[in-house]
Structure formats: structure tokens, C-alpha cells
């Protein structure tokens, strides 16, 4: 096990009705002027918008709004938010929604105190050391951005989707009421489950030895998603099912489960090229990429894959045949995705095969990707080909 420092200061308020406390939490963090960041309207339809704005008014907190954040969020609204904050002396960002609203708020948060172009953080030219405080009201368990230290944005020019990370980006609080996720369309529920599972698998596939405790936590978390995602589709309004997924989604990505180990993250980078160009849901892209990545890399650490097959999918290793066990686990993973209505091939996601080389180049522009196996341009291209 590697040395590690674990520090995640995000306060979590979980359960029915907790969104009513949003304004009080902002006050407790010292916020006095608020920018409310949200997406295309789901929070208005669910009534969350009214609850939050009523709570801000009751607490006497003036607020401004940045609506219309789109999935796979873009850079331009971040710049608009930075301008709004500077012009109005806004000192707190409240994001209501999923990864897209929260990541936009995080981009604004680091952009306001920075004199240069906020994209510098995403190109990793500089690391964010200052940020306005952010609070998150989560409506979709998926990206884990509600307590993660990262933000992912797409720059319109060149369609580059890049992530940046810094401890100053961790939200001060995450408000998580599973009831708010009951309005999710089935496809978004499925995409969210796929993203959560991917965050667990990225951490699971490590080359670091003696990490059995976190292996076991990861296996339990993966099993939770494999069991509960189909239940959420069958019973979308069941609070307890939604609650299991929501809590697992946060724990999957708050860095607790990669303590002492080095995760892979190659599949995420490979996927980001798909959602950047084709604007597909991140979770759908991961369902396409992850099985192909597994087929390509498993021989670089067969024992870990055999453990995954046995403990997560209950695959028996007949006659010591590792290859067959790994193939069976990948087939079961693909079957899981299909059962949720997700694509497992580029073609099923409506993605043609004429830009695979370009995506492989863009993906490896900063250097080779992944830690389980270092992936160079040719490797990434081969993985896209396996996913056709």
C-alpha cells in the first residue's frame, strides 16, 4: 500500500428535505451574495428551484442566476459566470443539478480570483490555489462532483474536453436528497450508474499490491451498483433504492476508495474524446469504452482481473483458465450495460469510425494515458477499434 493523505472536507447533508437547509449552510460558510448555477430546467419542473430560491430569500441572501448549463458543459458559460460574479461582488456559488452544473460552478469558482484565462487550469498550465466557495445540491448520482476535487469542461473551439483538479475545488457542502433523483429519466439513471461503476473500476484496476481493504470496499460498492441500478429502473420512485445509489455515487468518487493505491483513469480520458465530439452522455461513452479497455489491457495484470471476475461477477475459474474467466466477466459487464439500455459499441452509440485516429491523437496529446497499462496513441486507437 502506498503512503497517502486523505482530506475531504465536504459536509454532507443527506436525506429527505435537506435542500431546505441550503441557504443556512451558505450563511455558515460566510457566503453573502450567491450565484445559483443550474441546467436546462429539471430543477424548475421538480420544484427544487422554488425551494432553493425561497430558502435564499428567507435567509436574506441576494442571488443571481446562471441557468441553461448543458450536459458536457462548455467553457463560455463559465466565463459568463466569472463576469457576473466580478460585477456583482458574488462570494458564493450554489450549483443545483449534476456534474455539469457543479463543474461549471467550480470553473467559475477558480476563475474569479484568477487574472488569466480560466482555461489555463484545464490545460494544466497552472494549478488552482484560490477559489470562491461552492455548495452543491445534487439531483443525479453520477459524476461524483458534489464532493470531488475536479471539474471537467469542454472548450467549444477544437472541442477539447479536459479536467482539472485542486483541493480548493471541493464543495463546502453537498446536499443530497434521494427524492430529488426520482424524476430522472431511465436513460439518465442508467448513465449515472455506469459512471459510478466506472469510477469504482478505474480505482480497482491498479498495479499497487497489498490494497485488500480498499479492494473489498470497491467490490462492495460495485456490487451495490450492479444490484441497485436495475432496481432503480424497475422502481424509479423507490426512495430506498435511490438512496443506495446516491450514497454509493459519492463514496465512489470522493477519493476515499483510492487511498493507498493508484487508479487507472485511461478509460475516462478515452471516453472524454467521445463526449467532446459527439456530445453523448459520459456514462454511455464509458459503457462503450470500458469493456474494450479491459479486453486490451487485462494481460498486463491477469490476477487482478481474475479477482474482479470472481469477486464482483461470481465467475468460477474452471481448470485455472484465466482467459476464459476474464472473458466471462467482461461479457457479464456488457450484459449489465445492455440490460440498462446502454450502448456497448461505438456503432450502437451512433458514433462513426472515421475520426478514431484523430481522437486517439487528441487523447494522448498531453502524453500517454492510464496507469494500469500506459497507453500511447496506437494503444488508444486500438481500443477505439475494439469498441467499433
Examine residue 273 and tell whether it contacts Zn ion (CB under 5 A).
no
Radius of gyration of the chain (CA): 20
Backbone φ and ψ for 164, nearest 5 degrees, come out as: -135, 155
With 0-12 / 13-18 / 19 or more C-beta atoms within 10 angstroms meaning exposed / middle / buried, residue 105 is buried
Residue 151 binding target from Zn ion, ligand NZQ, none, CB below 5 to 8 Å by type: ligand NZQ
C-alpha cell recorded at residue 255 = 477519493
Residue nearest to ligand NZQ (CB): 39
Q: Which stretch binds ligand NZQ (CB under 6 A): 25-33, 182-190, 328-336, 342-350?
A: 182-190
Within positions 317 to 376, which residues make up the interface with ligand NZQ, using CB under 6 A?
Answer: none
d(Cα 357, Cα 375) in Å, to the nearest integer?
14
Examine residue 31 and tell whether it contacts ligand NZQ (CB under 6 A).
no
With 0-12 / 13-18 / 19 or more C-beta atoms within 10 angstroms meaning exposed / middle / buried, residue 277 is middle
Residue 98 binding target from ligand NZQ, Zn ion, none, CB below 5 to 8 Å by type: ligand NZQ
Distance of closest approach, residue 3 Cβ to Zn ion, in angstroms? 26
Nearest to 325 by CA among 307, 338, 339: 307
Give kind and range of the element (H or E) at residue 27: helix 22-28
Residue that the C-alpha cell 448555477 belongs to = 37
3-class secondary-structure state, position 165: strand
Distance of closest approach, residue 113 Cβ to Zn ion, in angstroms? 27
C-alpha cell recorded at residue 346 = 461505438
Q: Which stretch binds Zn ion (CB under 5 A): 62-70, 192-200, 235-243, 310-318?
A: 192-200
Examine residue 196 and tell whether it contacts ligand NZQ (CB under 6 A).
no
Binding ligand NZQ by CB under 6 A: which of 51, 55, 72, 371? 72
Residue 107 binding target from Zn ion, ligand NZQ, none, CB below 5 to 8 Å by type: none
Binding ligand NZQ by CB under 6 A: which of 110, 112, 132, 140? 140
Examine residue 250 and tell whether it contacts ligand NZQ (CB under 6 A).
no
Q: Which stretch binds ligand NZQ (CB under 6 A): 98-106, 114-122, 233-241, 321-329?
A: 98-106
Q: Which residues of 324-334 are buried (b: 16+ CB within 10 A; e: fewer)?
A: ebbbbbbeebb
Binding ligand NZQ by CB under 6 A: which of 25, 42, 105, 177? 42
Which residue spans within 199-343 are E strands per DSSP? none
Residue 97 binding target from ligand NZQ, Zn ion, none, CB below 5 to 8 Å by type: ligand NZQ
Distance of closest approach, residue 176 Cβ to Zn ion, in angstroms? 18
Distance of closest approach, residue 362 Cβ to Zn ion, in angstroms? 18
Residue nearest to Zn ion (CB): 195
Q: Which stretch binds ligand NZQ (CB under 6 A): 21-29, 149-157, 319-327, 330-338?
A: 149-157
With 0-12 / 13-18 / 19 or more C-beta atoms within 10 angstroms meaning exposed / middle / buried, residue 335 is exposed
- Cα torsion at 316, 198, 135, 274 (round to 10°)? -170
Distance of closest approach, residue 14 Cβ to Zn ion, in angstroms? 21
Examine residue 267 and tell whether it contacts ligand NZQ (CB under 6 A).
no
Q: Packing angle between helix 266-278 and helix 186-204, nearest 10 degrees?
A: 150
Task: Identify which of residues 161 and 311 has a Cβ nearer to ligand NZQ in the complex.
Answer: 161
Binding Zn ion by CB under 5 A: which of 103, 149, 195, 244? 195
How do 92-97 and 63-66 pair as beta strands? unpaired
Binding ligand NZQ by CB under 6 A: which of 188, 224, 254, 344? 188
d(Cα 205, Cα 260) in Å, to the nearest integer?
13
Residue 71 binding target from Zn ion, ligand NZQ, none, CB below 5 to 8 Å by type: ligand NZQ
C-alpha cell recorded at residue 181 = 433523483
The 3-state DSSP composition of the chain as helix, strand, coil percent (nearest 5) reads: 55, 10, 35
Residues in binding contact with ligand NZQ, number by CB under 6 A? 35
Which residues lie near Zn ion (CB under 5 A)?
195
Contact residues for ligand NZQ, defined by CB under 6 A: 39-43, 46, 71-73, 97-101, 103, 139-140, 142-145, 148, 150-152, 180-181, 183-184, 188, 192, 195, 253, 268, 282
Amino acid at each position: 500500500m502506498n503512503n497517502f493523505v486523505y482530506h475531504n472536507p465536504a459536509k454532507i447533508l443527506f436525506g429527505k428535505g435537506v435542500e431546505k437547509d441550503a441557504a443556512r449552510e451558505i450563511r455558515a460558510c460566510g457566503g453573502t451574495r450567491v450565484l445559483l448555477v443550474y441546467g436546462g430546467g429539471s430543477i424548475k419542473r421538480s420544484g427544487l428551484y422554488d425551494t432553493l430560491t425561497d430558502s435564499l430569500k428567507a435567509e436574506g441572501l441576494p442571488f443571481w442566476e446562471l441557468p441553461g448549463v448543458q450536459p458536457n458543459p462548455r467553457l463560455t458559460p463559465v466565463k459568463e459566470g466569472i463576469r457576473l460574479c466580478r460585477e456583482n461582488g458574488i462570494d458564493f456559488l450554489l450549483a443545483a443539478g449534476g456534474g455539469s452544473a457543479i463543474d461549471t460552478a467550480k470553473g467559475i469558482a477558480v476563475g474569479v480570483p484568477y487574472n488569466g484565462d480560466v482555461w489555463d487550469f484545464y490545460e494544466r498550465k497552472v494549478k488552482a490555489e484560490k477559489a470562491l466557495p461552492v455548495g452543491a445540491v445534487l439531483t443525479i448520482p453520477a459524476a461524483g462532483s458534489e464532493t470531488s476535487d475536479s471539474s471537467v469542461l469542454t472548450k467549444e473551439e477544437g472541442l477539447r474536453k479536459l479536467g482539472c483538479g485542486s483541493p480548493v475545488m471541493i464543495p463546502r457542502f453537498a446536499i443530497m436528497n434521494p427524492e430529488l433523483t426520482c424524476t430522472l429519466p431511465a436513460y439518465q439513471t442508467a448513465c449515472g450508474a455506469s459512471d459510478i461503476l466506472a469510477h469504482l473500476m478505474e480505482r480497482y484496476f491498479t498495479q499497487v499490491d497489498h490494497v485488500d481493504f480498499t479492494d473489498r470496499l470497491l467490490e462492495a460498492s460495485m456490487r451495490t451498483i450492479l444490484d441497485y441500478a436495475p432496481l432503480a429502473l424497475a422502481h424509479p420512485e423507490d426512495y430506498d433504492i435511490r438512496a443506495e445509489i446516491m450514497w454509493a455515487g459519492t463514496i465512489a468518487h470522493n477519493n476515499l476508495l483510492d487511498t493507498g493505491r493508484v487508479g487507472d483513469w485511461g478509460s475516462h480520458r478515452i471516453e472524454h474524446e467521445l463526449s467532446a465530439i459527439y456530445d453523448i452522455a459520459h456514462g454511455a461513452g464509458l459503457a462503450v469504452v470500458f469493456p474494450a479497455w479491459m479486453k486490451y489491457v487485462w494481460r498486463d495484470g491477469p490476477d487482478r482481473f481474475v479477482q474482479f471476475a470472481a469477486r464482483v461477477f461470481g465467475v468460477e475459474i474452471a481448470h485455472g483458465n484465466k482467459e476464459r474467466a476474464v472473458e466471462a466477466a467482461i461479457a457479464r459487464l456488457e450484459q449489465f450495460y445492455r440490460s440498462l439500455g446502454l450502448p456497448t459499441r461505438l456503432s450502437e452509440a451512433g458514433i462513426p469510425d472515421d475520426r478514431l485516429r484523430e481522437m486517439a491523437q487528441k487523447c494522448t496529446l498531453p502524453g500517454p494515458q492510464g496507469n494500469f497499462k500506459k497507453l500511447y496513441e496506437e494503444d488508444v486507437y486500438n481500443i477505439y477499434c475494439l469498441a467499433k
